[in-house]
């Protein structure tokens, strides 16, 4: 019986390297020897030796029976799941697999409209029919808030045949939903609760954080372990926990993960997951205590700087700092630019009103001091007129529009014949593509939706301001958009 103080995959790869094999399998760099010296001169070769594949000692992600199986089982025990899977293609592939497994072609699924675009990719793959639910809007911050159990209840009353609900909690900004209440509603309708917990793998380790999805009744959830818990970029996990609802779905998960993941999964990524799990099991509560106390140290100080505000809230992951300096006339975009260009303080993202700092256990007090000092300095500069005035323009963006009419499923629209029309003439047409102003990268239009005037105007604000829009052409200018040539509704 394995214990949480073991790291079976790390040990298996280390044991294999110790056999000093004459290596004739992929990858061709031969345990690091063949990596370009341009790189190894500065970082060494040791780590690259761990970039192996399915050797006799290192198991197989797609049919695990040895070290990977043990590592995944330890993960499941730590999170209270029935079964857990390592993902090497981020939460992106986990979200795709959850949707593919829970809603087959033509079946209905409720989807929170602030879902990451990987949900749309899952819908394209599965052919399911999405029914959207709108999360609350936090007008003061200009961002989407939680999805309420009451909204979920009314969505199910109107669509009792929905097979599942897919939602994001916590959001990028750290806003969590009442998952306990939402899970009860889903299960009462014999539907699964699928939670994109990409930003929440750390919630399980401290009482000062909102409860995690699995602990709150979710049936399936994904977590980007690389976002906040020390694994390498792209390393994520998917957890399953049965609640006696639609049990047949759980058999499809492993099969669908084959569909969306590489047949050559990286052992560097998987070993990083094994080690991240070990650290959380051994030290999770101290790690989260540190992140929380650093974040609250900065939050208190920033709240005292006139012209700055830091988001507070009941169901908030308080390791996220959402800051606004709108009162100083700074949009989030400008604030992000100033913080980096003048003070080398690099934030996670900006929107028109806010910037977001993700504080983790691996930050140090000095990082937070630099953030606070930069904010104080910007405040002083604004008082003395020393700030680059050319940057001061507070553009108001309209609120996120309600979903436009859906004519085709995302899958049907995606695989339809499309033609390019000028963006200026696109209103009223059925979109053949996604358009998602970034950040936050949440689709404003899904393939198959009619581009309503309201949505057109919303996207136009971002286009006019030269903001990045996922789905815009190669030059990023959105001069043209793909629309469906002829559309007979399949819904």
Ligand X SMILES: Cc1ncc(COP(=O)(O)O)c(C=O)c1O
Contacts of 6 (CB under 8 A, 6+ apart): 70, 74, 278
Chain residues that interact with ligand X, rule: CB under 6 A: 90-92, 95, 116, 118, 168, 172, 196, 198-199, 224, 236
Q: Which is nearer to ligand X, 269 or 287 (CB)?
A: 269
Least gap, CB of 224 to ligand X (angstroms):
4
**Structure tokens given for 304:** 């005292």
Give 84 or 91: the residue with its C-beta nearer to ligand X: 91
Nearest to ligand X of 199, 353 (CB atom) = 199
Question: 3-state class of 118 per DSSP?
Answer: helix
Structure tokens at 214: 């699995």
CA 267 to CA 45: how far, in whole Å?
A: 15
Question: How far is the C-alpha of 403 from the C-alpha of 241, rounded, in Å?
Answer: 31
**Distance of alpha carbon 410 from alpha carbon 487, whole angstroms:** 12
Determine contact, residues 209/226, Cβ cutoff 8 Å: no
Q: Say if CB 441 and CB 117 are below 8 A apart.
A: yes
Task: State which residue, 16 or 173, has the beta carbon closest to ligand X.
Answer: 173
Nearest residue (CB) to ligand X, 91 versus 354: 91
- The distance of closest approach from Cβ of residue 272 to ligand X in the complex, given in angstroms and rounded to an integer, is 13
Please, what is the minimum distance in Å from the beta carbon of residue 152 to ligand X? 18
Q: Is the peptide bond before 5 cis (omega within 30 degrees of 0)?
A: no
Largest pairwise CA distance in the chain = 68
Question: In this structure, what token pair is assigned to residue 154?
Answer: 């009314």
Kindly tell me which of 171 and 416 has the beta carbon lying closer to ligand X.
171
CB of 120 to ligand X, least distance (A): 11
Residue 91 CB, nearest distance to ligand X (Å)? 4
Instruction: State the minimum distance, in angstroms, from the CB of residue 28 to ligand X.
Output: 27
Residue 169 Cβ vs ligand X, minimum distance, rounded to whole Å: 9
Which lies closer to ligand X via its Cβ, residue 236 or residue 418? 236
Q: 205 is written with which tokens?
A: 């380790």
Total residue count of the chain as it appears in this document: 491
On whether the CB atoms of residues 418 and 484 are closer than 8 A, the answer is yes
Question: How does 315-334 read in b/e, with b if 16+ C-beta sit within 10 Å?
Answer: bbbbbbbbbbbbebebbbbb
Q: Report helix, strand and coil shares of the chain as percent, to nearest 5.
A: 40, 15, 45
Specify the residue, 97 or 374, whose C-beta has the smaller distance to ligand X: 97
Residues 193, 156: Cα–Cα separation, whole Å: 12
Decide: 252 and 100 in contact? Cβ < 8 Å.
Answer: yes
* DSSP annotation of 168: E
Name, in order, each residue with C-beta under 8 angstroms of 207's C-beta and a sequence gap of 6 or more: none
Nearer to ligand X, 273 or 338 (CB): 273
- Rounded to a whole number of angstroms, the minimum distance from the CB of residue 225 to ligand X is 9
Smallest gap from Cβ 168 to ligand X, in A, equals 5
Least Å from the CB of residue 207 to ligand X = 24
Residue nearest ligand X (C-beta atom): 90
| Distance, CA of 140 to CA of 321 (rounded, Å) | 15
Give 156 or 172: the residue with its C-beta nearer to ligand X. 172
What's the CA gap between 123 and 131, in Å, rounded?
11
Task: Count other C-beta atoms under 10 Å from residue 447's C-beta.
Answer: 29
Q: CA neighbours within 13 Å on the CB side: how many for 36?
A: 2
CB of 441 to ligand X, least distance (A): 7
CB of 186 or CB of 198, closer to ligand X: 198
DSSP state of 136: P
Which letter does DSSP use for residue 309 in this model? E
């Amino acid at each position: 019986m394995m214990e949480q103080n073991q790291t079976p995959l790390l040990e298996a790869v280390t044991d294999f390297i110790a056999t000093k094999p004459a290596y004739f399998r992929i990858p061709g760099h031969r345990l690091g020897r063949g990596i370009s010296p341009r790189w190894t001169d500065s970082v060494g070769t040791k780590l690259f030796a761990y970039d192996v594949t399915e050797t006799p000692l290192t198991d197989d992600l797609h049919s695990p029976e040895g070290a990977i199986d043990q590592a995944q089982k330890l993960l499941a025990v730590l999170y209270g799941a029935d079964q857990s899977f390592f993902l090497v293609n981020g939460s992106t592939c986990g979200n795709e697999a959850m949707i593919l497994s829970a809603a087959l072609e033509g079946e209905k699924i409720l989807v929170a409209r602030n879902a990451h675009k990987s949900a749309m990719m899952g819908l394209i793959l599965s052919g399911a029919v999405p029914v959207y639910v709108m999360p609350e809007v936090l007008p003061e911050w200009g961002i989407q808030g939680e999805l309420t159990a009451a909204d979920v209840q009314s969505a199910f009353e109107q669509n009792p045949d929905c097979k599942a609900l897919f939602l994001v909690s916590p959001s990028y900004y750290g806003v969590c939903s009442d998952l306990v209440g939402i899970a009860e509603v889903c299960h009462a309708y014999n539907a699964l609760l699928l939670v994109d917990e990409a930003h929440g793998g750390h919630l399980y380790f401290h009482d000062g954080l909102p409860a995690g999805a699995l602990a709150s009744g979710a049936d399936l959830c994904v977590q980007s372990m690389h976002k906040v818990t020390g694994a390498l970029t792209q390393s994520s996990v998917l957890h399953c926990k049965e609640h006696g609802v639609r049990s047949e779905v759980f058999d499809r998960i492993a099969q669908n993960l084959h569909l969306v993941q590489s047949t050559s999964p990286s052992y560097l990524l998987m070993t990083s997951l094994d080690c991240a799990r070990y650290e959380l099991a051994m030290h999770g509560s101290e790690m989260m205590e540190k992140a929380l106390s650093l974040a609250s140290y900065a939050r208190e100080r920033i709240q005292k700087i006139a012209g700055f505000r830091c988001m507070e809230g009941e169901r908030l992951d308080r390791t996220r700092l959402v800051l606004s300096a709108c009162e100083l006339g700074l949009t989030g975009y400008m604030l992000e630019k100033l913080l980096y260009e003048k003070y080398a303080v690099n934030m996670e993202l900006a929107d028109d009103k806010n910037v977001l700092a993700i504080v983790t256990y691996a930050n140090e007090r000095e990082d937070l001091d630099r953030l606070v000092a930069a904010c104080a300095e910007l405040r002083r500069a604004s008082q003395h007129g020393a700030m680059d005035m050319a940057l001061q323009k507070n553009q108001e963006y309209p609120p996120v529009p309600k979903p436009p009419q859906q004519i085709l499923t995302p899958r049907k629209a995606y695989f339809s014949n499309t033609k390019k029309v000028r963006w200026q003439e696109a209103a009223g047409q059925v979109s053949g593509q996604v358009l998602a102003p970034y950040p936050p990268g949440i689709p404003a239009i899904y393939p198959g939706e009619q581009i309503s005037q309201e949505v057109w105007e919303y996207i136009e604000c971002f286009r006019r301001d030269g903001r990045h829009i996922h789905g815009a052409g190669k030059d990023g200018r959105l001069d043209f958009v793909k629309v469906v040539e002829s559309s007979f509704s399949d819904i």
